[in-house]
Amino acid sequence: MLKLIKTQRPLKRLAAAVVCGALLTALTTPWAAGATDEFIAGSGNSSAQVMRIGPTAGKLSLAPILGVTLTDYTDTVARAESETADLAAIGVASPCTDAKVPRLRVTSDDPGAAKGKESVTAGQKQNGIGGGVIDLFASATKTPLATSDVKIGSFSIPGVLAMGSGESMSTAGVVIDKGQKVRRSTADTFISSFSLGPVTLQGLHWSSVQETDAKQHQTLTGSFTVGGATIAAIPLPVNGTLSSVLGPINTALAPTGFAIVPPAFDKTGGVATVSPLSIQVVDSQLGRQFLAPALAAIEPIREPLSQQLIPILEKPAQVVGGNPNDCSQTTVPDLTVGVLVADLGIGVAAGSSQLHIDLGGTDAYTEGEVFSNPFNFNVPSPASLGTAPKTIFTPGTAGVPAIPGASEGETPLAQSPVARSDKTIPGGKGGVAIAVGIIGILCALALAGADWYWMRRHRTV
């Protein structure tokens, strides 16, 4: 027969329990107190472009965007993309044509993404840097930080326009500034020169920067500067901006339908945006006066001619066959798009469509919103409610229902608004939480083992 000896347990067990409790309290108290001040990576994005040129009609755009950079990040995942061109509606009509456009895309999870990837088109590196007509670069780290860059060589349309070398670059991520973490997105576009007829602009630069810190303080900056401007080789007093000379230029160009719109800085919604420098042909007065009547006169001939031309343009694709959305197959692009391009081109001259020449354009954004505890409903204590108000109750009579009670001076059935609470809170894992959990488990096991050992030693048969 087993008999347990009743002995007072040593105070050491109590002391061990007290030490474990004090240790857990010491660890969790500063951690919980500082949780609200912990920096959250949040998210951010930025984009920049070199040039957009082409006709549009309503929401239909055949104006490709050249030299596009895109960066974004969420928490520790960053992404970067560099595109030679965004083909707009042309890419939608011909997906395989869009697939052949040189572009780079990386995420921070890709092998080698932190070092970056580079692509050189129609050229080769010179002294370790790009030397092609188009140079693309993209990188992404788990810091997180995404970087994207596109360089485009000079080109011209003889007798119409000429553009010098251009570059767009954008970044988005978390950086250290003066010893503190901040979320920062930047976007920049540089164009060495641009000429349209007798007008030449030099040293164009667009810049957008947006930052947020641990306390959600926002800093938004944006700027556009120009190094110089000439008309027929005559210098203009730009002083870094075009505002002083655009008025007279646009007044002179108004009868032709040309309009030059300078860039503007906007920070609506916390997004730092610098708009493009736009050179547009909008509602040409000369076109409406002279060309539009001529086009209206030949409309009865143009429409039947277009209807006969479209089946002819569809023939090559029908003969070759294949799925135009499957780029592994040999197909012929949809040639009927040429009819649409011709209509839009004539529409620009006639004043019914728009020709867009947009230079530059940048935007940047970050956020790190911290949500409060969803269970903190701020219910008042009974003491804070004071004395219950007197209520007025009107008893009912035969055929007349009773009126429910209401506070004196208040309208019956009036309700006070219920405070709204946030639905999500920031979470976390690792760090001090792991240490607290492990120490708690070890303390529980140690106390259980001590109990077992003590009972085994103090039992007798």
Residue 125 above 60 pLDDT?
no
Tell me the C-alpha distance between 448 and 444, whole Å.
Answer: 6
Name the residue range of residue 106's domain: 43-54+63-253+360-367
Tell me the C-alpha distance between 230 and 92, whole Å.
Answer: 39
Find the range with the poorest average confidence among 17-26, 110-119, 150-159, 357-366: 17-26
- CA within 13 Å, CB half, 235: 8
Give the confidence band of 88 by pLDDT, cuts at 50, 70, 90: confident
Q: Is residue 247 part of a domain?
A: yes
Q: Which residues contact 404 (CB under 8 A, 6 or more apart)?
A: 393, 412, 413
- Spatial contact of 358 and 51, defined as CB atoms under 8 Å apart: yes
pLDDT at 1: 42
Q: Is residue 20 part of a domain?
A: no
The residues with which 173 forms a beta bridge, in sequence order, are 145, 184
Higher pLDDT, 332 or 121: 121
Q: What angle do CA 106, 43, 138 make, to 5 degrees?
A: 20
- Spatial contact of 314 and 336, defined as CB atoms under 8 Å apart: yes
Query: What confidence tens digit (pLDDT) does each residue in 321-355 have?
Result: 666 666 665 566 666 666 666 666 655 555 555 67
pLDDT at 264: 94
Residue 76 above 60 pLDDT?
yes
Nearest to residue 275, comparing CAs of 389, 179, 156, 358? 358
Q: Is residue 176 part of a domain?
A: yes
Output phi, psi for 363, to 5 deg.
-155, 155
Tokens of 451: 């109990």
Q: Is residue 214 part of a domain?
A: yes
Higher pLDDT, 336 or 109: 109
Helix (H, G, I), strand (E, B) or coil at 109: coil
pLDDT at 123: 57
pLDDT cut 70: percent of the chain above it: 54
* H or E element that contains 444: helix 432-457
Find the range with the poorest average confidence among 241-250, 381-390, 436-445: 381-390
Tell me the C-alpha distance between 279 and 32, whole Å.
Answer: 57
pLDDT at 48: 97
Q: What angle do CA 18, 22, 27 make, to 5 degrees?
A: 150
Residue 32 above 60 pLDDT?
no
Output phi, psi for 365, to 5 deg.
-155, 145
Give the confidence band of 244 by pLDDT, cuts at 50, 70, 90: confident
Tell me the C-alpha distance between 354 and 36, whole Å.
Answer: 52
Tokens of 148: 């994207």
Tokens of 328: 């592994």
pLDDT at 349: 56
The residues with which 196 forms a beta bridge, in sequence order, are 161, 199
- Spatial contact of 286 and 257, defined as CB atoms under 8 Å apart: yes
Q: Which residues contact 141 (CB under 8 A, 6 or more apart)?
A: 78, 108, 113, 114, 173
- CA within 13 Å, CB half, 113: 22
Higher pLDDT, 165 or 459: 165
- Mean predicted confidence (pLDDT) in 172-196: 94
- Mean predicted confidence (pLDDT) in 232-259: 76
Return mean pLDDT, the chain.
74
Q: Which residues contact 84 (CB under 8 A, 6 or more apart)?
A: 66, 67, 68, 101, 102, 103, 121, 134, 136, 150, 152
DSSP H helical segments within 351-431, as ranges? 382-385
DSSP code, position 283: S
Range with the largest mean pLDDT of 179-183, 319-323, 345-349, 412-416:
179-183
Tell me the C-alpha distance between 333 and 320, whole Å.
Answer: 10
- Mean predicted confidence (pLDDT) in 154-174: 90
Calculate the alpha carbon distances from 315 to 195, 320, 321, 337, 429 in Å: 41, 9, 10, 14, 62
Tell me the C-alpha distance between 102 and 85, whole Å.
Answer: 8
Q: How many domains does the structure of the chain reveal?
A: 1
Beta pairing, strands 145-152 & 459-460: unpaired
Higher pLDDT, 229 or 115: 115
Q: Is residue 22 part of a domain?
A: no
* H or E element that contains 312: helix 292-320
Q: Is residue 29 part of a domain?
A: no
pLDDT cut 90: percent of the chain above it: 31
Tell me the C-alpha distance between 277 and 358, whole Å.
Answer: 6
Tokens of 459: 């039992």
Tell me the C-alpha distance between 5 and 460, whole Å.
Answer: 7
Chain-centroid distance of CA 39 in Å reads: 20
Higher pLDDT, 24 or 43: 43
Rg (CA), the chain: 35
Tell me the C-alpha distance between 136 and 96, whole Å.
Answer: 20
Following DSSP, what letter does each residue of 160-176 receive, concatenated? TEEE--EEEEEEEEEEE
Query: Global pTM?
Result: 0.65
Higher pLDDT, 445 or 209: 209
Q: What angle do CA 95, 99, 102 make, to 5 degrees?
A: 145
pLDDT at 431: 56
Nearest to residue 233, comparing CAs of 203, 204, 196, 198? 198
Give the confidence band of 393 by pLDDT, cuts at 50, 70, 90: very low
pLDDT at 296: 63
Tokens of 295: 């086009």
Higher pLDDT, 297 or 180: 180
Residue 212 above 80 pLDDT?
yes
Q: What angle do CA 193, 194, 195 make, to 5 degrees?
A: 130
Residue 73 above 60 pLDDT?
yes
Q: Is residue 278 part of a domain?
A: no
- Mean predicted confidence (pLDDT) in 20-25: 62
Give the confidence band of 38 by pLDDT, cuts at 50, 70, 90: confident
pLDDT at 380: 55
Find the range with the poorest average confidence among 47-56, 129-138, 220-229: 129-138
Q: Is residue 198 part of a domain?
A: yes
